[in-house]
Amino acid sequence: MNATPNTRIEVIDLGHQAYQPVWDLQEEQLKKIVVLKRQNRLLDVPLATPNYFYWVEHPPVITLGKSGLPKHLLLNETQLAEKGIEFFTTNRGGDITFHGPGQLVGYPILDLENFFTDIHKYLRLLEEAVILTLKEYGLKAQRSEGETGVWLDVGTPFARKICAMGVKASRWVTMHGFALNVNTDLAYFDYIIPCGIQGKAVTSLKAELKREVSLDEVKAKILIHFSSLFNAELYFN
């Protein structure tokens, strides 16, 4: 017997947090859910598995994904330290990216067996939540074939990335997620080859709209689209 799907998602805003403790938190939650799923195999009435959505804003940090190349980091250890930037090699998909102040990072920890078992669909829905949010700001955001994330002016010499994505899944439980540049200082991206893609720029909502944008406002818009796309009920802690 399978557990009744739980489509409720607990939304938790972590505020400003360093990368390592938030990564540790994600790993801990994923492991707990995986353990519960294993235990459920032995139960006549399986227990529902939880789902979480963490918001966070990191201090300056560069992370390299499983498919990333070290040469895409353009600073050495000394230069990273001088600029106050942490560096981590992570277990998420994707290449290299930057997280920092003014950037909205979302980490959904979902048991996809509560929704659907399709990682490709999961990534496309994450992108769609961001695309629909940016549309509310008058921006025509799109996917770029073969390049996970959300872009502007796809297929032109002015193509630029506004949202990066990289996830991990174990027994259909997800971690890591997406990073949307809202008021991000884009100069930090000069220290990497973003997502390992040569010759394409990075942008932010602030750069596109020529004004600061409320992160709380963007969070609210994304969650509306996210809950609709996943047919989920959100509750807040």
- What the block records as the tokens of 203 is 């942008």
DSSP 179: E
Separation of alpha carbons 13 and 234, rounded Å: 13
**Are the C-beta atoms of residues 173 and 30 closer than 8 Å to each other?**
yes
Query: Which residues are bridge partners to 109 per DSSP?
Result: 52
Q: How many CB atoms lie within 10 A of CB 39?
A: 11
Separation of alpha carbons 70 and 192, rounded Å: 10
Determine which one of 163, 193, 195, 205 is catalytic.
195
**Positive or negative, the Cα torsion across 212, 217, 219, 24?**
positive
195 catalytic per annotation: yes
Separation of alpha carbons 227 and 222, rounded Å: 9
- What the block records as the tokens of 228 is 């609709």
Separation of alpha carbons 82 and 42, rounded Å: 53
**Are the C-beta atoms of residues 201 and 101 closer than 8 Å to each other?**
no
**Are the C-beta atoms of residues 144 and 156 closer than 8 Å to each other?**
no
The pairing of strands 103-109 and 173-181 is: antiparallel
**Active-site amino acid positions:** 195
